Structure formats: C-alpha cells, structure tokens
Amino acid sequence: MARINAVLRRASAKANESLQEEAPPPPKRGQVVGFLLAFEEFLLNPRLRSLSTTEGKPIRLTGSKFDLLLALVEVEGKSLSRDELLDRTRSREWSPFDRSVDVLIGRIRRKIEKDPAKPSLIKTVRNVGYILTAPVRRQILTSDPAERANVISIAP
C-alpha cells in the first residue's frame, strides 16, 4: 500500500507541475497563427481539424475521413494510390485487400459532392487511386481580428 501511495503521490505532483507551467504568450497583432486550405466552396483548417463551407457551415468528419481528405488536398492535382493514402493516414499495417480507403472516399463524397453518384471533386483514377480535381488555395490566418475577416489568399 505504501508503494502504491508513493506512486500516486509522485504522479499527482507531476500533474500539478504541468498544470502550473506558463501558457504561451498570446500572438502579437498581425502575427500569422495558421492557414486554411480552400477548394471549391470548402475551407479545411488543418490546425483545428475542421471542414466548413465558405459560408461557415461546419461539415462533420471523423478523424480518418479528415486525414484522408487532408492527404488529397495537400497533393492537389496529383493522384494517390490506395497504398499511399493508407501510408499517409494510418500508422497500422494494411493488407492488399484493405478496402477502407474506398469506403471512406465514398463517405467523404456523400458529404462534399453535389452528386455523389457522379463525383466531380474526388475522382477515381482507374488502376491508380484517387485525385482531388479542384484547385487548392492557401489562406493565411492572422491574429488581427480586422484581417481575419479578409483572409489573405496566397498561391500554393
């Protein structure tokens, strides 16, 4: 019992120390605090791991769907095979018959495509994999609230 109490006491002390560490200072006015990846009418925020429309309507994605969409957006205009997508999004072993990417692509299409039966944003490249066809724009987010309303677009 004494050993258990000692371990609990040490763990509690370490937890208290980590809570008492100083928080980072707030960003200075006009400092870059992040970026958005914009394609079609969607905004993908890698830092917050969120997807929304340009009007601000949030689109709920699971972690694996978000990772898969982010992988496609990051390589804009290049096709990625199932193997590459699995390597980029999963840290687990996969088998040659793993169809999880296909299932997730279908679910993402149902959320972002106008007609999921005839996809135009995420196309299937036969015998290769998948490609995001929309051009992607990077938008810088700054800590200045006035500038946040006019997000600055930059070339990829």
Mean pLDDT taken over the chain: 81
Residue 67 is predicted with a pLDDT of: 92
Contacts of 140 (CB under 8 A, 6+ apart): 32, 34, 35, 151, 152, 154
Residue 35 is predicted with a pLDDT of: 82
Residue 100 is predicted with a pLDDT of: 83
In this predicted structure, the answer to whether residue 85 has a pLDDT above a threshold of 60 is yes
In this predicted structure, the answer to whether residue 22 has a pLDDT above a threshold of 90 is no
Contacts of 132 (CB under 8 A, 6+ apart): 39, 72, 73, 75, 76, 77, 121, 122
Residue 148 is predicted with a pLDDT of: 46
Residue 110 is predicted with a pLDDT of: 94
In this predicted structure, the answer to whether residue 13 has a pLDDT above a threshold of 50 is yes
pLDDT in tens, 105-155: 999 999 999 998 999 999 999 988 999 999 998 888 777 655 544 444 444
- Mean pLDDT calculated for residue range 65-78: 91
CATH code, 32-154:
1.10.10.10
* Structural domain spans, the chain: 32-154
In this predicted structure, the answer to whether residue 93 has a pLDDT above a threshold of 70 is no
